[in-house]
Structure 1
Amino acid sequence: MSSAANRFTGKRVLKAGYSQSSVLQALETRAGSEALARRLWMSFVQEGKDNLYERDIAKNFGPTGKEEAKEMFEALDKDCNGDVSLGEMHLLCLQVAQDRKHVDRNMHDIGQVIKSLDNILSLIVLLLSILVYAAFFSTTLASRATALWGSVAATSFAIARTVQEFLGSCIFIFVKHPYDVGDRVDINNLPLIVEHISLLHTIFRQVDSGANVQIPNIINNSQWIKNFSRSKAMAERYDFAISAKTKFDAIENLNTELQNFVRDNKRDFQPDIDIELISVGNLKELVLRVEIAHKSNWSSETLRVTRRNKFLCALLAALQKHSICSPGGGGPPPVGSWENPGYSVTIADEEAQGARTAYEEREEAKRLKKLNADASIPNT
């Protein structure tokens, strides 16, 4: 328990023994992380309970460890709903394991960048030292100093762009440092994940295709970069059009339905949700905007997509429940749809031909009856 407290709070709460190495070893694999999550959760949760509460942790720390227990529970309760489920503990341990791997890779890459920079600067210092030493102790070189420095100036013009790229990359990595290895970023609206950082370039993995993309750091230095991993809880908006005949009460009922949805899914979404009428669409439609806030950022694409799908399905169900139709809609659903299913029955050819003949005879009788009725009316 002491090593777990040290891990989650970042402080040395109790003296950690060999169990610390066991925890770190378990975090190296997915199966070990899940086993660690179950072990921690079952060690704290009372028998017969389905969630972990702050009082369960405080009970194990004693009367003098309430502050440490509070910090540990706040680290576990990412959605701030007052309890921690076993699924949340699984996600937390997996996230901790993934973050450890990303930190190790990032430290390795930054170390390689510093090593490359050190080698380049050492080479420059060595060349300058040789030139200065030769200028002082060589009369031949001193007499040709003007021609030598002219050659140096010409060389500097030739490699000006390379030097500019080198200096820009150094500023980008060591001063701006907009991302680390494992971060989920957007560059020019292209979803990417940072895989490797070098001195002059960065290798990304595309979220949609999984392909690796190498982009020079000097190009990224002038781009707008959205870093989702460093962001706090994020929100997204959905714009959609509905029929202009929709009543205000129906929109209010839709808002109430969505508020009930976020309350029922408080582990995934924040309770703030609202519907805004942003346009009337030339009096032919009503354009609504729904903004929903997630409980976390979008660093995990799988989690973001799962939450998004859940909300969109709930939104569609709420629209259908309150009879809110698309522009130009509102009529009966087409035959064969799930709302108005169609049925077919297979019959013999003779039966079908007989039914058709009977139908034609009835129609002909109706036509003749109408003609006779018209003929019996006297002309005036």
Structure 2
Amino acid sequence: MFPNVHGAHYQAVRRAFRTLVAVLVAATFWLVKIVLVKVLASSFHVATFFDRMKESVFHHYVLDALSGPPLEEEEREAPLRHGFQGSKSLPARLRGDKSAQQQLLMATRSKNFGSRKIDMEKLKKLSTKSRPSAWTVKRLVNYIRFSGLSTISRTVDDFAAESSEINSEWEARSCAHRIFKNVAKSGAKYIEEEDLLRFLKREEVHTVFPLFEGAMETGKITKSSFRNWVVHAYFERKALAHSLNDTKTAVQQLHKLASAIVVVIIIIISLLVLGLATTKVIFVVTSQLLLVGFMFQNTCKTVFESIIFVFVMHPFDVGDRCVIDGIQMIVEEMNILTTVFLRYDMEKIYYPNSVLLTKPISNFRRSPEMADAIDFAIDISTSIDIINALKKAIQSYIESKPKNWSPKHSVIVKEIENVNKMKMCLCVQHTMNHQNYGERSSRKSELILELKKMFENLDIKYHLLPQEIHLSQVNLPTGTARYANVM
């Protein structure tokens, strides 16, 4: 009797031990799966979006600083601790005013700004080479995804500082006008470097100043250039938030797929460990699974190719302007299996990612400064001196617009046609890529109109070759005028 009791006790302990081993193996596999997916997501965000996230966060910090009250002298010299609304120290002139302090604290605590502070000094030191931690990347991603481009809607002088979030292009323009009035001197039409120094540190001003069109050449920031910068920062933040949201959706879908595979592996290993199934049974079940996989091999192949396209190739992000099959489109939405494009006529086009994997894709946003060409023709009788004068006029115009055009350009003669027409081409290089297609068209239009003025000033014309004219006489009734028929 006692041996049976001991045998039953031994079997119970053995089953419990096997159960614990199965649970441990399952937990280990599940933990490895979670870690691998998290590492993949973090590495993907660092490689793809880290620089754009840093730039967007800095632009947000600048908008927040310029929309708020000026810094005192000691605050300009103090090291920068934080970078967002609610993180600045209270201006010295308000430290004695309790009502103003309370109102300012209420404004800075709104919308959980306290939980979204980011140390700008640490952010500046981060780079993809130093391999930022997963926690830092996660904070940046969450900040971009869940917070819009916000500013302080009123200065502390009005004792009513509150947060104002930009949600449209019109709001961005209105916000730019309000911030310009807050920064510029009363009645001034420009923002100068000394105006920015009242709100930002000197090294920050040196970083911000080149962002405004024409500021480096003139030393002044116009209303239009400041407005264009705010609008650009809004659209860039919006596109980046969409990209991060779509990437999160793709990661979640990948997580579900990995979970399904790991669950199957855990079940098979658990059955073996617990002794509920032999290797022969597992072999039969596995062969059946392989048969099912063979039946759905096209689906499996499509999913695998889509994962490679999204996480390995990743040739574009949301908001990028691309050319596929000769059609220029903007990326509207990116999922793990499909990508949605918006064509120039606002028609949505859905492409399977497995199909995009096999197509050449042109990406304007990721391209360097792009070139352009303008073809024109002049009369063969145009003298060399006038042609040289035309080249000098073109050079003078391009050099006068360093923000729009690179000094590298060429005027070439392509061919002489019909012994009376000389085909020429002006090759220029923009100071931007063609992501902003409207700006590119505007610059090119201005250049063409300027070429027309040069032709008029230099009296450059184009004459057709002599044409044959055939005259015929038509017999008409008496008293009716006779006309010549020109053919």
TM-score by length of 1: 0.74
Closer/same/farther in 2, CA of residues 159 and 110 from structure 1, 3 Å limit: same
Q: Which residue of 2 aligns with 1:22?
A: 152
Closer/same/farther in 2, CA of residues 45 and 270 from structure 1, 3 Å limit: farther
Q: Which residue of 2 aligns with 1:111?
A: 248
What's the CA shift string for 1:14-51, capped at 9, x where partnerless? 95374765367342233332222122223333456433
Closer/same/farther in 2, CA of residues 291 and 56 from structure 1, 3 Å limit: farther
Counterpart secondary structure, 1:84: strand
Counterpart secondary structure, 1:238: strand
Out of 288, 300, 306, the position equivalent to 2:442 is 306
Q: Which residue of 2 aligns with 1:278?
A: 414
Out of 225, 229, 234, the position equivalent to 2:361 is 225
Counterpart secondary structure, 1:170: helix
Out of 300, 317, 337, the position equivalent to 2:453 is 317
Measured after TM superposition, the shift of residue 78 of structure 1 is 7.0
Q: Which has the larger radius of gyration?
A: 1
Q: Which residue of 2 aligns with 1:183?
A: 320
What's the CA shift string for 1:224-272, capped at 9, x where partnerless? 3222223343321123333333322222222223234335545533444
Q: Which residue of 1 aligns with 2:193?
A: 54
Out of 211, 217, 238, the position equivalent to 2:374 is 238
Name the CA distance, whole Å, in 1 between partners of 2:189 and 2:400.
17
Closer/same/farther in 2, CA of residues 155 and 247 from structure 1, 3 Å limit: farther
The 8 Å contact of residues 241 and 286 in structure 1, kept in 2 or not, is answered as yes
The 8 Å contact of residues 79 and 267 in structure 1, kept in 2 or not, is answered as no
Structure 2 residues without counterparts, runs of 5 or longer: 1-59, 67-79, 90-106, 109-149, 154-162, 468-477
Closer/same/farther in 2, CA of residues 79 and 304 from structure 1, 3 Å limit: farther
Name the CA distance, whole Å, in 2 between partners of 1:7 and 1:119.
42
Measured after TM superposition, the shift of residue 195 of structure 1 is 0.5
Measured after TM superposition, the shift of residue 213 of structure 1 is 0.8
Out of 166, 173, 181, the position equivalent to 2:303 is 166
Q: Which residue of 1 aligns with 2:226?
A: 89
Closer/same/farther in 2, CA of residues 311 and 134 from structure 1, 3 Å limit: same
Measured after TM superposition, the shift of residue 129 of structure 1 is 2.2
Closer/same/farther in 2, CA of residues 228 and 308 from structure 1, 3 Å limit: same
Counterpart secondary structure, 1:52: strand
Counterpart secondary structure, 1:25: strand
Structure 1 residues without counterparts, runs of 5 or longer: 333-352, 361-380
Aligned length: 332
Q: Which residue of 1 aligns with 2:96?
A: none
Alignment of 1:126-275 (within 5 A): 126-134=263-271, 142-207=279-344, 209-275=345-411
The 8 Å contact of residues 239 and 287 in structure 1, kept in 2 or not, is answered as yes
Out of 41, 44, 62, the position equivalent to 1:4 is 62
- Equivalent AA in structure 1 for residue 196 of structure 2: I
Query: After alignment, is 15-24 or 291-300 more displaced?
Result: 15-24
TM-score by length of 2: 0.59
Closer/same/farther in 2, CA of residues 135 and 284 from structure 1, 3 Å limit: farther
Query: After alignment, is 223-232 or 14-23 more displaced?
Result: 14-23
- Equivalent AA in structure 2 for residue 163 of structure 1: C
**What's the Cα RMSD here?**
3.6
Out of 194, 212, 215, the position equivalent to 1:76 is 212
Q: Percent identity?
A: 20
Residue 34 (str. 1) matches residue 173 (str. 2)? yes
